[in-house]
Structure 1
Amino acid sequence: MKKLFISILVLSLVACKKEPKKPAAGSTDSTAHIKTDTAANTHEVIANKEEVLKKTNDEILKTLKDKDYKKFAECIHPKKGIRFSMYAFVDPKNDKQFSKEAFEKYYPGKTLFTWGSHDGSGDPYKETIKNYLGKWVFSKDFTVSSYSLNKFQGGGNSLNNLQEIYPKHDFTENYIKGTEKYGEMDWKALRFVFEEFQGTYYLIAVVNDQWTI
């Protein structure tokens, strides 16, 4: 009887140490599967967004190069309009801003607008919409510039507060490096700030940047 009791006790201890049953072959962990799919979908969405913004950026540059301001107007946010900043510092109170309708109304005409003040002299810069876009915004051929998304390539001595004014918005930068002749200080950058509306990314701001005195 004593031997029988010891045998039963040993069998009980062995049974308690058995490993948990492994999943049957071919079964999957549903939680892990969901996480993997979510990560893949997120990556796909981000990649698609970057592609769309790059394409939109290039299309806007082309409208400016072609001076096709009617098509440029189609890129303006239909509800929030567009703001133009002469330099890196965005001044919501003083920078020139247009609704989409106002831009479409005035760009063909000869009405002069004050866009800001020249750095150094402080003289007000007055121009028509067409001349401002042609002479100031697209002062160089930015279709052959260096592109970046949500990253600054150029920086000078003027305050750049774009991310403070537009903390939750995507922006693109088109950067042209300065020349050796001027110690590379004649660099220029053109930035576009976007906001999504009904599935489309629209322009809400155009910001120029360059070395200032």
Structure 2
Amino acid sequence: MKNLIIPIFALTLLTACKKNPEKPVPNVIDSMAQAKEKNLENTKQQKKTDEAAVKKANDEILQALKGKDYKTFASLIHPEKGISFSMYGFVDPKEDRHFSKEDFEKFQPTKTLFTWGAQDGSGDPYKATINDYFTKWVFSKDFTASQYSLNKFQGGGNSLNNLKEIYPGKDFTENYIKGTEKNSEMDWKTIRFVFEEFQGKQYLIAVVNDQWTI
């Protein structure tokens, strides 16, 4: 009896298939291609938006530094990762000065001295308050009148520039002031800002100064 049930079931299934032919199946390959193309368009659009956001943050930082508006500057520091400062193009996470956002806000108004790194040539430690470091080193020239670039280096000397290795995949800006003919263009200076997005906003995670070194 069991052997008879199986052929009858198979015959019934075959008849049902003939009466209800399969509906056309959508072209899966075309659908995947369309989805990929849409994702690429969205990515391009997102990149444009990111570039605009980074440029806006870059300009806000420069204006804050020029006006010594360190409250605004502090508001752009990454809330979780804080901020690091490099005196030259070579970034050394072990030696460079780092602050959490809270510590920066705490010590900025004070006369507390910090060691920011070693001066090129002499090797002497560079000690200064946050305010003095900003005015005498970070913003030693008016970088609001500099040449801007995104994820591209303009200034370069004889020191190692390892920013991309230390901050892989991060967006960075460069604000470059060309050297003078009088000094064979060796007196160029630049300031780089490294950004990371957090909760839909661009925040600063590093400030890297660079110039010709001995």
TM range (shorter): 0.7 to 0.9
Secondary structure of the corresponding residue to residue 126 of structure 1:
strand
Q: Determine the structure 1 residue equivalent to 2:201.
A: 200
Opposite residue 201 of structure 2, the aligned amino acid is T
How much is the aligned-residue C-alpha RMSD, in angstroms?
Answer: 1.1
User: How far has the Cα of 1:197 moved from its partner?
Assistant: 1.1
1:58 lines up with 2:49 in the alignment:
no
* 1:120-135 → structure 2 map (5 Å cutoff): 120-135=121-136
Q: Determine the structure 2 residue equivalent to 1:212.
A: 213
TM-score using structure 1 length: 0.84
Q: Determine the structure 2 residue equivalent to 1:12.
A: none
User: How far has the Cα of 1:76 moved from its partner?
Assistant: 0.5
**Mean CA deviation greater in 171-180 or 32-41:** 32-41
* 1:61-72 → structure 2 map (5 Å cutoff): 61-72=62-73
User: How far has the Cα of 1:40 moved from its partner?
Assistant: 2.1
Q: Determine the structure 1 residue equivalent to 2:117.
A: 116
CA displacement, residues 25-63 of structure 1 (integer Å, 9 cap, x when unaligned): xxxx65554344323222111111111101110000000
1:103 lines up with 2:99 in the alignment:
no
Opposite residue 123 of structure 2, the aligned amino acid is G
Secondary structure of the corresponding residue to residue 55 of structure 1:
helix
Q: Deviation above 6 Å: which 4+ runs of structure 1?
A: none
CA displacement, residues 90-144 of structure 1 (integer Å, 9 cap, x when unaligned): 1111111100000000000111111111100111111100010111000111111
CA displacement, residues 140-185 of structure 1 (integer Å, 9 cap, x when unaligned): 1111111111110010001111111111211110001000010000
1:73 lines up with 2:74 in the alignment:
yes
CA distance in 2, matches of 1:190, 1:31: 44
Percent identity between the aligned chains?
A: 71
- Unmatched 5+ stretches in structure 1: 1-28
CA distance in 1, matches of 2:158, 2:34: 50
Q: How many residues were matched structurally? A: 185
CA distance in 2, matches of 1:37, 1:119: 51
TM-score using structure 2 length: 0.84
